[in-house]
Amino acid sequence: METTDNVTGLTGDAAASTTPEWSAELATVLTGAAELARAAIAEFSGDETVGDYLGVGYEDPSSGTHRFLAELPGYQGWQWAVVVAGYPGADHATVSEVVLVPGPTALLAPQWVPWDQRVQPGDLSPGDLLAPLPDDPRLVPGFLASGDPQVDETAAEIGLGRRRVMSAWGRTEAAQRWHDGDYGPRAQMSQSTKRVCRDCGFFLPLAGSLGALFGVCGNELSADGHVVDFEYGCGAHSDTPAPAGGGSPMYDPYDDGVLDVSEQPAEPR
Ligand code: SF4
């Protein structure tokens, strides 16, 4: 008899052929235990919960697993798996266990993702606590405060006095993110102007190595408070010339003095 296991894709004969010490008599006993398996499910969960027979697979020479479609509310695509076993020379099989297992089309919960991999930029809300990972590659140990105000003041200016500071890797990663982000040279705003932040009066350079490429915009009408790339730019650059005349910089003023005014001919009586 050839039967198919929907999960493994093996047929009973194929599974048997992978087991050198397979006994043909016991194989017949195990394969023929399908109705025994169905009865075990009916006893366990009720006759109406067992659906179509799906086939049998073999784990080893003395046990097989019969599968049936599960007819249970909320278990669409699940299967009953009944393990039957027998000893060499046995004339009947016995039921070892009855379990529900997900089939290939079963509706399953999404795979669980640890919280630290679920948190995304922008998820942090007021009052939330978000500790860095123990081995966060963005951070490296800093130096402890010495207790000498003069030394500590100088140390704070150059970034010492904190338990951890950003690593070179963390700074490089941040720099790349800023460069590629909304205030980098490829942003739409930047592409629409030739003026760049590095020579703008509103540009406030960062301290440290990142100051070679980034600063903060201090123009409340533009990227106020955001880190901007040297090569970013906007139309509110401090060197942007004022528009000529009193109208819009996009259009010439409307002068109604140059219009010809003609009288409308009188209506014929
Ligand atoms: S006003 Fe525009 S050009 Fe000047 S720093 Fe801010 S974003 Fe850059």
Domain ranges of the chain: 12-102, 135-166, 169-229
Phi, psi angle pair for 26, to nearest 5°: -70, -35
Q: Closest ligand 1 atom, CA of 238?
A: 4
Whether residue 99 contacts residue 7, with contact meaning beta carbons closer than 8 Å, is answered with no
Check residue 133 and give its pLDDT: 76
Distance CA 223, CA 204 (A): 12
Check residue 208 and give its pLDDT: 82
Is ligand 1 within 6 A of the CB of residue 187? Answer: no
Distance CA 90, CA 103 (A): 31
Q: Closest ligand 1 atom, CA of 218?
A: 6
Distance CA 117, CA 125 (A): 17
63-70 vs 50-60, strand pairing mode: antiparallel
Please say whether the dihedral angle defined by the alpha carbons of residues 131, 134, 140 and 145, taken in this order, is positive or negative: positive
State the DSSP H helix or E strand holding residue 116, giving kind and residue range, or none if neither.
helix 115-118
Whether residue 231 contacts residue 203, with contact meaning beta carbons closer than 8 Å, is answered with no
Residue 255 has pLDDT above 60, yes or no: yes
pLDDT digits (tens, 9 = 90+) for 75-134: 999 999 999 999 988 999 999 999 999 999 998 888 888 877 888 877 877 667 777 777
Q: DSSP string spanning 57-109?
A: EEEETTEEEEEEEE--TT-TTEEEEEEEE--TT-SS-EEEEEEEEE-TT---P
pLDDT digits (tens, 9 = 90+) for 152-191: 666 666 656 677 778 888 999 999 999 999 999 999 999 9
On whether the pTM is more than 0.75, the answer is: no
Pocket test residue of 203, 230, 240 for ligand 1, highest count of atoms within 8 A of CB: 203
Distance CA 204, CA 209 (A): 14
Whether residue 64 contacts residue 74, with contact meaning beta carbons closer than 8 Å, is answered with no
Taking residues 256-266, report their average pLDDT.
71
Give 252 or 239, the one with higher predicted confidence.
239
CA 204 / ligand 1 centre spacing (Å): 10
Beta-bridge partners for 50: 70
CA 193 / ligand 1 centre spacing (Å): 11
Is ligand 1 within 6 A of the CB of residue 214? Answer: no
Q: Both tokens of residue 61?
A: 């020479």
Q: How many residues does the chain have?
A: 269
Of the pLDDT bands very low, low, confident and very high (cuts 50, 70, 90), residue 269 is: low
Give 149 or 24, the one with higher predicted confidence.
24
Fold assignment, 12-102: Nuclear Transport Factor 2; Chain: A, (3.10.450)
pLDDT digits (tens, 9 = 90+) for 30-70: 999 999 999 999 999 999 999 999 999 998 889 999 999 99
Q: Both tokens of residue 237?
A: 């650059």
Give Cα separations from 233 to 16, 113, 168, 185, 197 (angstroms).
72, 39, 27, 7, 5
> Helix, strand or coil for residue 130?
coil
Whether residue 107 contacts residue 82, with contact meaning beta carbons closer than 8 Å, is answered with no
Is ligand 1 within 6 A of the CB of residue 197? Answer: yes
Residue 19 has pLDDT above 60, yes or no: no
Distance CA 102, CA 33 (A): 22
Distance CA 25, CA 263 (A): 116
